Structure 1
């Protein structure tokens, strides 16, 4: 890790910075926590229904009574069609009315002159603001064929961890994109947010805010299942040793016992203060870039009247990983090979704060892998994977 001329700074997120989740000032992810079973929490245990997420009699995950396999198939069929049809339309500037367009196509199981036959129940697929989202994807260097290949060439992978709201999460097989089910109000809010989001990204694509690449709806069994496609903050090819959801608040900000029993729990602010009382060491330039990005992003969120967001921080301990025996992996480190260079620009935490877009290659070194280099108070080398999450809720 490069050090500043004055040496590495003992730095953290200052609580004096308005709206910036507070971290502290210098220490560890050499944290010894009693880890629960390494077996995913779904295995062998009957899963309770959380929100719209449930399990059918065969043990398969369902969402609004649609099986996960049927939902994945519908998503891939729908995205293949909508991206293909969009490619026939000439490129042009985004107009105000583009933010409010909704395109809809019916997929009967027997097929039609526009859609292929499939073995799922009939469904309808809606695409929101297709021209606007095409622009967002282009802004981040995502070509239509890359978007299609990532999402539709291989089966989507369902992630075991669901949100507290019962959202379903899928990741593309190349680790590039996350697909998340969202509630009606969240999808509605994203639609309202799009013009301002467009303006903000135009001014500065280097941000820790979520990168939204598509908003869709699968209508099946009389239910609307809304999904959003986003950048993947946490590559599965990098083992995460500990993870925090930080709000800069301490009121009821401790992970529940149920959360702690998961293979990779999401800890909260009080846990962070207990585990890492001295904070984290970052290089001075890296710290300044991170603070500048966070402060700017928080001002954007404030302008949209968004309050209930979090800073997700996942930590990979390089020194711990080098001591761990090969094959000692969890569901979060399923692939020990080097991750392929990501297709999207500004998609990693490192790029988001430095703004150094790749040109014909990858800026990720063997040491960084897209993470922000840091150290704990023991001097152990860390990689921080950071992003702002849960922005689709507003307070009026």
Structure 2
């Protein structure tokens, strides 16, 4: 049965869906983009093997390498069936260091990207960005604007300082920044961790900013099979918050406080806490046994952070899920004391908790949308809003206020500590 798409679904930003369901981005087909990305990453990561390991230098953060991929191939590039394109590789040495910090070996990174075709996620972000996921569900590739790519590159020295001092963070884990150029079009791409393991069904999703001003999912969003709810929805569905073990609560708060200080120092605001909730009572086995499995060819996402569908045992995802746990789990991102194999296998790296209804749940969380700096346009936007609305009910005007409100909401409204028992 064909699905009739609205004009809004067909056109979003640079993303278009044709009459036959084919997706294009900047008038380039998604299949062409995905295939070219794989060739570019294979060259970029493979080329680093000949470069010796060394300490990072300040110029490494601003280095940009460009390679042209002709259709007939060349000494270092293979022949291919796509139109000729060039591939820019931003800060290759720096990103190699970042991948190493998070335990990603070059051969594993290459295997994830180049052993099987990429998949396009069917639920794009509101900005019209397009998202791809590796076949083993390890990594998300998101298209970003020129300003976002430029901001990320400027952010890299501070990002390096942050993960050196503390690699346990809920901030996005960036593994690569590239630019695909074809037909006079530039498509900039960032590679990040896949927040939600796709072999676990996510029953509820929330995008929380700590604000109540217009923070309610639209009727269109609510009609989706797995809608992404907002702050007011969370308060309605979970009026008493989500209860987590006391030690986990304190470690989680400490991590969020540290991450918010980093974001505030870079004048970043409008970020969100993305929460995916798996309700154990709705699933006999979180790894898919004796459960109804979703079609792995129909992944969905929220803000480019995670695919949320389950896949059958025996797929490449199931075979590789243990490797994913070592560098992208929520537990690992909070505190090393929770890193033990028994806990990881039981929760797949998520946080065990209890819902408002007393249900046993597993939470997958991360801070997303951090590539927005508080500059002139934001200042103008908030100044105009403050003229017409009570400033206490709208998005706050400064990154420090935003961070304070964000943390207060998460610590008092979203998460509650279980003080009667050490473990849930």
Q: 2:311 aligns with which of 322, 330, 335?
A: 335
After superposition, where does 1:3-22 map in structure 2 within 5 Å?
A: none
Match of 2:353 in 1: 374
**Aligned-residue offset at 1:86:** 1.1
Which segment is superposed worse, 369-378 or 210-219?
369-378
Task: Indicate the structure whose relative CO is greater, using CA pairs within 8 Å and at least 6 residues apart.
Answer: 1
Q: Could you say which residue in structure 2 is the equivalent of 1:45? A: 5
- Aligned pairs (5 A) from 1:24-63: 43-45=3-5, 47-63=9-25
Give the match for residue 385 of structure 1: 364
- Indicate if the aligned counterparts of 1:105 and 1:126 stay in contact, CA closer than 8 A: yes
Distance 1:301 1:135 in 2: 21
Contact preservation (8 Å) 1:208, 1:386: yes
Matches within 5 A, 1:229-378: 229-322=191-284, 326-327=291-292, 329=294, 331=298, 332-337=308-313, 340-343=321-324, 345-356=326-337, 362=341, 364-378=343-357
Asked if the contact 2:139/2:193 (under 8 Å) is kept, the reply is: yes
Instruction: Give the C-alpha shift of residue 336 in structure 1.
Output: 4.3
In structure 1, stretches of 5+ residues that fail to align are 1-38
| Farther off after superposition, 103-112 or 93-102 | 103-112
- Is 1:117 aligned to 2:117, yes or no? no
Which residues of structure 2 form unaligned runs of 5+? 299-307, 376-424
Cα distance in 2 between the residues matched to 1:363 and 1:134: 30
Cα distance in 2 for partners of 1:271, 1:60 equals: 33
Aligned to 2:404: none
**Structure 1 CA distance for aligned equivalents of residues 46 and 119 of structure 2:** 23
Find the counterpart in structure 2 of residue 34 from structure 1.
none
Tell whether 2:116 aligns with 1:154.
yes
Q: Is the 8 A contact 1:162 1:168 kept in 2?
A: yes
Q: C-alpha distance in 1, partners of 2:240/2:145?
A: 38
The CA distance in 1 between the partners of 2:343 and 2:3, in whole Å, is 35
CA distance in 1, matches of 2:373, 2:190: 17
Displaced runs of 4+ in structure 1, greater than 6 A? none
* CA distance in structure 2 between the partners assigned to 1:163 and 1:375 by the alignment: 29
**1:163-210 deviation per Cα after TM superposition (whole angstroms, max 9, x unaligned):** 101111111111111111111110000000000000000000000000
SS in 2 for 1:340: helix
| Partner-residue secondary structure (3-state), 1:264 | coil
Number of corresponding residues:
354
Cα distance, 1:308 vs structure 2: 1.1
CA distance in 2: counterparts of 1:241 and 1:179, whole angstroms: 23
CA contact (8 A) 2:42 2:110 kept: yes
Distance 2:219 2:149 in 1: 31
Quote the offset at 1:344 in angstroms.
6.8
Q: Is the 8 A contact 1:216 1:227 kept in 2?
A: yes
Higher mean Cα deviation, 195-204 or 45-54?
Answer: 45-54
Determine if contact 2:88/2:180 at 8 Å carries over to the other structure. Answer: yes
1:115 deviation in Å? 1.2
Q: Note the C-alpha offset of 1:157.
A: 1.4
Quote how far apart the aligned CAs of 1:263 are. 1.9
Question: Closer, same or farther in 2 for the Cα pair 1:124/1:158, shift >3 Å?
Answer: same
Cα distance in 2, alignment partners of residues 232 and 272 from structure 1: 23
Residues 43-122 of structure 1: pairs in structure 2 closer than 5 A:
43-45=3-5, 47-122=9-84
- In structure 1, what is the Cα distance between the partners aligned to 2:325 and 2:57? 24
Contact 1:373 1:383 in 2 (8 A): yes
Larger relative helix fraction = 2
Give the RMSD, CA atoms, in angstroms. Answer: 2.0
8 Å contact kept, 2:170–2:333: yes
Question: 1:214 is matched with which residue?
Answer: 176
